[in-house]
Amino acid sequence: MVVIRRLYTAALSVGLLASAPFYAARAFRRGTGLALAERLGHWSDETVAAVRGRRPVWVHAVSVGEVLAAEPLLREIKRRYPTLCLLLTTVTATGRRTVIERVPQADAVAYFPLDLPRVAERVLRQANPRLFLCVETEIWPNVLFALATRNVPSFLVNARLTVRSAGRYARARRLFGPALGGMSGFAAQTRADAERFIDIGADPSRVVVTGNLKFDQGLEDPATIEPSRRADLGLGPDEQLWVAGSTHPADETALLQAYGRLADPRLVLLLAPRHLDRLAHVEAAVREHGCEPIRRSTLRAGRVNGGPGRRVIILDALGELASLYTEAAVAFVGGTLARVGGHNLLEPAARAKPVLFGPHTHKCEEIARALLEADAGVRVHSADDLCDQVRRLLGDEPLRKAMGERGRDVVARNRGAVDRTLAMLQPWLG
């Protein structure tokens, strides 16, 4: 195990040194020097002061999706244990912003350290955590070994492992098997996830099926109407909104093609790109398809003479997508026509909206299957499919409402992962 881990560390170090000039230049260009420093374990004085002497619960959520999945768990931890200090780490800048904007329970936020022994030790000396919770599928051998050396319990929560990922980990079982074997527990989303973790080295006695935390996100009243929000979006009284969330380039191409073919002057498309650094590219794609791109922030400021017409609203800030699904007649969730694996299908379902998604849902297959079986979602494969399904749903309001209610029921029936996860963690939290 020691030899394998040393070889892994050496290979990782060589890769990091080779890529250092690129990442340093990017950090200088983007002004993200803080990220680089924190990933090397050099935290700001403010972050160190926030956790000093408080033995925080360290929660790692790699990016936006994992942060949002963990949010209901963190909210309940703070409610039950208000004096506990919560330290959240992410890898991406958007994940960090999401923590700051959406997770007020976090006492401190930092970037996750590189998986190098000295860096991990430096972070652990600064944080001195009582517990480490990693959300979904982040397995870093050196960090886990450093935690075990300090007798800090470590858990995977909302743990999931796709067949593809399980195969990759299995090929490196001599490295990842001992790392998993030293973990204190696994709160798996499904029985299949649990079995895959066991297959690659998790102790079967420490694996519990707790369900998906995303089902515990808030259920909003579908009858709630916010006229001010519709007006704020520049929507006329007869216009309908099609919200496409967490989109990637391949999703956007199909969406814009379908939107053009629908040629319905009452329909307005709202695109919420997964990565906000692509906004200029999204605007260019909208123009190429003969539509007017309008950034959401300019609508808020009242500087757009939008009016009726073939326009596409582009959501250019984090934190609002979930509430905008409430205004949608129909929703599409991205990363599914793009070969990404899918994003949060539950946000529109929880708001009683029919959900469209593509064939690539390996990251959220359980949820996709549940929505399909309940006839609350529709899988599409092309721009033509999108066009046909959106036309069908827009023309049949009773169908839209029935599908939306069935989706909301799917969310309600599967709630409870937060309580089950906390039951597993209680001996270490209490």
* CA 424 – CA 430 distance, rounded (Å): 11
CA pseudo-torsion sign 45, 46, 49, 54: negative
Closest Cα partner for 111 from 47, 18, 158?
A: 47
Residues 6+ positions from 403 with CB-CB distance below 8 Å: 354, 375, 376, 377, 393
The SS3 assignment for 271 reads: strand
* CA 152 – CA 184 distance, rounded (Å): 9
Q: Cα 35 vs. chain centroid, distance in angstroms?
A: 19
* CA 226 – CA 323 distance, rounded (Å): 10
* CA 412 – CA 414 distance, rounded (Å): 6
Q: Check 38, 46, 66, 121 and give the catalytic one.
A: 66
Q: Please spell the DSSP secondary structure of 273-338, one letter per residue.
A: ES-GGGHHHHHHHHHHTT-EEEEHHHHHTT-----SSSEEEE--SSS-HHHHHTT-SEEEESSTTT
Instruction: Mark out the alpha helices in 150-301 (DSSP H runs).
Output: 163-171, 173-181, 191-199, 227-232, 249-262, 279-288, 296-300
CB-neighbour burial class of residue 430 (10 A; exposed 0-12, middle 13-18, buried 19+): exposed
CA dihedral 204, 208, 209, 210 (to 10 degrees): -160
- Look at the chain and count its residues: 430
Beta strands 330-333; 240-247: pairing state? parallel
Active site residue 66: yes
The SS3 assignment for 151 reads: coil
* CA 229 – CA 71 distance, rounded (Å): 25
Q: Which sequence positions are flagged as catalytic?
A: 66
